[in-house]
């Protein structure tokens, strides 16, 4: 019998965590080096030359629709503890509040960074800027995580698109680490609830395509951050909280209240004079998870008001896994099918 040497498997070590229900799969080993002298350059490389890693992790059979992956890298600036990029279904993104909370929780609870009680600070280098996480710690656990989000601002208020289905649809656009279009849900005669998730997702995908076509959303400093990442529906609750529903490509809703969306929403509230420095508000997801959003500071930057927002939420580790790619596997880039990923899956490689 002649033995042939088997080609090595590719392995990725992952710590599974969720933030108020939104899954953030933190890749802790096996991803390899990501080229680029800045996090924005690393982001650009992932979205142009290095997309095979994202496809491997995010798509079936290794990935699933209701998740992100957190890619940890060496930081590009000395004041940061780790670099961080977000792998999503459509592409790599600069920032996600829930995923940064997951990353801080994983790094501290697994001992990859030292934990100091009652509070530990972790600084992340992201393409949207430095993000400081303050984790409240007790008996080896992170009981909550507060993030100082990247500089946020309102881009436009009360913009409109014309539709044949719903007439004129009003929306705001804010930047909270990425750009999102914030759409009042009362324009559609429906609310935000778990039972409406599929309808909200389909509606959000249609609006995202039309709004992104009408509103370019250029970032003033970092071109890699330009463009509307998603639509977030907004409703005001009787207790003063804001109910949110962020629709993520290619068609599913964020299980958490969405850190970047909550930050962008606070920027639009500030632009309307509805919140003052030092005040907080609660954002609540379709599943009932909550974030606290606090307006920390405000400054003028040329003709624009730029604010600093603190987002606080909770995370839990729920598993440990190792993703494997056999060199003979027929699906090295994974696949998406519309039965799970929604009718827009075909735009993002269904059946590949």
User: Which residue's structure tokens are 């068609």?
Assistant: 251
Supply the pTM of this predicted model.
0.94
347: phi then psi, degrees, rounded to nearest 5:
-70, -15
- Output the pLDDT for position 350: 55
d(CA 109, CA 99): 15
d(CA 3, CA 72): 38
Annotated active-site residue in 19, 245, 258, 281 = 258
Mean pLDDT by 10 residues, the chain (352 residues): 63 97 97 96 95 94 94 97 96 96 98 98 97 98 98 97 97 97 97 95 95 94 93 96 95 95 97 97 96 97 92 98 94 90 73 49
d(CA 67, CA 330): 23
- Output the pLDDT for position 349: 63
Please confirm, yes or no, whether 137 is among the known catalytic residues.
no
Picking from 175, 272, 280, the residue whose alpha carbon sits closest to that of residue 229 is: 175
d(CA 113, CA 136): 14
Beta strands 179-184 and 228-236 are: parallel
- Output the pLDDT for position 301: 85
In the chain the domains, ranked by start, together with CATH numbers, are 10-148+317-348 (3.10.310.10), 153-313 (3.10.310.10)
Please confirm, yes or no, whether 96 is among the known catalytic residues.
yes
């Amino acid at each position: 019998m002649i033995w042939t040497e088997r080609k090595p498997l590719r392995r990725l070590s992952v710590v599974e965590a969720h933030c108020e229900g939104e899954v953030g799969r933190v890749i802790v080993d096996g991803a390899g080096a990501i080229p680029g002298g800045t996090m924005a350059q690393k982001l650009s490389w992932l979205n142009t030359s290095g997309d095979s890693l994202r496809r491997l992790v995010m798509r079936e059979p290794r990935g699933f629709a209701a998740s992100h992956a957190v890619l940890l890298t060496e930081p590009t600036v000395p004041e940061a503890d780790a670099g961080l990029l977000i792998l999503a279904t459509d592409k790599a993104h600069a920032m996600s509040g829930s995923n940064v909370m997951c990353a801080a929780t994983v790094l501290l609870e697994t001992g990859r960074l030292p934990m100091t009680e009652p509070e530990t600070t972790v600084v992340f280098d992201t393409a949207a800027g430095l993000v400081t996480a303050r984790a409240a710690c007790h008996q080896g656990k992170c009981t909550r995580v507060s993030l100082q989000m990247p500089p946020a601002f309102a881009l436009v208020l009360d913009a409109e698109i014309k539709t044949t289905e719903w007439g004129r649809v009003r929306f705001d656009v804010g930047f909270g680490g990425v750009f999102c279009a914030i759409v009042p849900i009362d324009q559609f005669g429906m609310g935000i609830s778990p039972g409406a998730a599929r309808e909200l997702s389909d509606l959000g995908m249609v609006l995202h395509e039309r709004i992104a076509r009408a509103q370019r959303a250029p970032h003033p400093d970092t071109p890699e951050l330009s463009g509307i990442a998603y639509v977030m529906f907004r409703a005001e609750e009787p207790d003063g909280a804001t109910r949110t529903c962020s629709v993520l490509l290619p068609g599913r809703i964020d299980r958490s209240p969405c850190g970047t969306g909550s930050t962008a929403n606070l920027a639009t509230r500030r632009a309307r004079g509805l919140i003052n420095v030092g005040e907080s508000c609660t954002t609540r997801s379709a599943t009932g998870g909550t974030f606290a959003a606090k307006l920390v500071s405000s400054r003028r930057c040329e003709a624009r008001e730029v604010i600093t927002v603190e987002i606080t939420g909770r995370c839990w580790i729920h598993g440990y896994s190792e993703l494997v790619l056999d060199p003979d596997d027929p699906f090295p880039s994974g696949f998406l099918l519309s039965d799970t990923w929604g009718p827009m899956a075909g735009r993002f490689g269904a059946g590949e």
